[in-house]
């Protein structure tokens, strides 16, 4: 059975991501009815950094949280992390265009009616926007981006991704990898040819098999159904510039107990101290009850001009 099949089966058993500090846990044992938006507060942190080697930051990330209770109840909270690729600054254009396309659909309430289908559709729309932009401007030909999306709405989590940017869930002292990289190396893992630990050190570990912008249509991996979030849950979205250098045990230890913005900043520092060979981006969303929460400032990456 596939990873997503195990995750969303009636009694899902999901192994913690490779290198997690605690043993295998079952998400199913925490299954509860969805909590209403008024029962959970969602706090967020976001950080992105060009790293120690590259001058241009081709990552782009945003967290969008509506400011009114009515809009929050209707739309939820959105997090998007993208890792762009392509020369002549085209990578940062692709990643920004992907994020802004998805955010626009979120703000126009297109994700609200049927999030299971609408979240992957928003990623498809981002793919088409990048592809069409490259068709109009030959200097942007070949640009692309990974894309990972998380929507939290009415106590439920919805996800979709293309490429190798990841979503982790920290719950009950364990860390779970909620996405599978779209790469030839991960396909070797799925077929049992190599282990996950061997994949971490494979020379082609960062060669992805799927990205937004490469073709007019792209296969998006969306979660087939949502699952209920619980107080204390922490979702961590990141690009490979983080998880290549900071293993899952470090992710767990750094992110599980502190304010999400503090955790994001510390993780960026860890990746830079480990070499920072790539752009680094991380977003963290934390579920808490109102009396547990603290004030949080949510950041977003800078805007850049998109050539017409």
- Is position 141 within any domain? yes
- Is position 270 within any domain? yes
Per-residue pLDDT, 293: 53
- Is position 228 within any domain? yes
Question: How many domains does the chain divide into?
Answer: 1
- Is position 46 within any domain? yes
Per-residue pLDDT, 299: 47
184: domain CATH number?
3.60.40.10
pLDDT by residue, tens only, the chain of 308 residues: 344 454 554 333 333 444 443 332 334 434 444 444 446 789 999 999 999 999 999 999 999 999 998 999 999 999 999 999 986 679 999 999 999 999 999 999 999 989 999 999 999 999 999 999 999 998 888 899 999 999 999 999 999 999 999 999 999 999 999 999 999 898 898 889 988 888 888 888 888 999 999 999 999 999 999 999 999 999 999 999 999 999 999 999 999 999 999 999 999 999 999 999 999 999 999 998 776 654 444 444 444 333 33
- Is position 305 within any domain? no
This prediction has a pTM of 0.85
- Is position 298 within any domain? no
CA distance 91 to 106: 23
Q: Which residues does 206 contact at the CB level (< 8 Å), separation at least 6?
A: 164, 183, 240, 244
Within a 10 A sphere around the Cβ of 242, how many other Cβ atoms? Answer: 31
Domain residues for 248?
3-289
Query: If DSSP codes are grouped into helix, strand and coil, which group holds residue 247?
Result: coil
Per-residue pLDDT, 87: 65
CB 68 within 8 A of CB 83: no
- Is position 96 within any domain? yes
CB 176 within 8 A of CB 14: yes
Tokens 């209707």, residue?
A: 74
- Is position 183 within any domain? yes
Per-residue pLDDT, 304: 39
CA distance 155 to 256: 20
């Amino acid at each position: 059975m596939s990873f997503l099949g195990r995750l969303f089966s009636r009694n899902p058993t999901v192994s913690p991501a490779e290198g997690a500090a605690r043993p295998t846990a079952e998400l199913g044992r925490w299954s509860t009815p969805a909590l209403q938006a008024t029962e959970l507060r969602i706090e967020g942190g976001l950080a992105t950094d060009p790293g120690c080697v590259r001058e241009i930051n081709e990552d782009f990330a945003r967290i969008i949280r509506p400011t009114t209770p009515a809009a929050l109840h209707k739309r939820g909270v959105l997090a998007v992390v993208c890792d762009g690729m392509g020369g002549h600054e085209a990578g940062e254009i692709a990643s920004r265009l992907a994020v802004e396309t998805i955010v626009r659909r979120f703000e126009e309430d297109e994700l609200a009616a049927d999030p299971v289908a609408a979240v992957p559709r928003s990623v498809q729309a981002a793919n088409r926007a990048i592809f069409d932009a490259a068709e109009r401007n030959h200097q942007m030909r070949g640009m692309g981006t990974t894309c990972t999306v998380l929507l939290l709405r009415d106590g439920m989590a919805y996800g979709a991704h293309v490429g190798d940017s990841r979503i982790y869930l920290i719950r009950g002292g364990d860390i779970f990898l909620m996405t599978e990289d779209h790469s030839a190396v991960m396909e070797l893992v799925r077929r049992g040819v190599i282990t996950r630990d061997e994949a971490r050190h494979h020379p082609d570990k960062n060669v992805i098999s799927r990205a937004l912008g490469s073709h007019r249509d792209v296969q998006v991996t969306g979660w087939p159904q949502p699952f209920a979030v619980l107080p204390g849950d922490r979702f961590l979205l990141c690009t490979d510039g983080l998880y290549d250098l900071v293993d899952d045990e470090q992710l767990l230890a750094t992110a599980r107990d502190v304010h999400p913005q503090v955790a994001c900043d510390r993780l960026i520092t860890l990746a830079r101290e480990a070499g920072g060979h790539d752009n680094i981006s991380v977003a963290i969303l934390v579920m808490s009850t109102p009396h547990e929460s603290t004030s949080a400032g949510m950041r977003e990456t800078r805007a850049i001009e998109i050539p017409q």
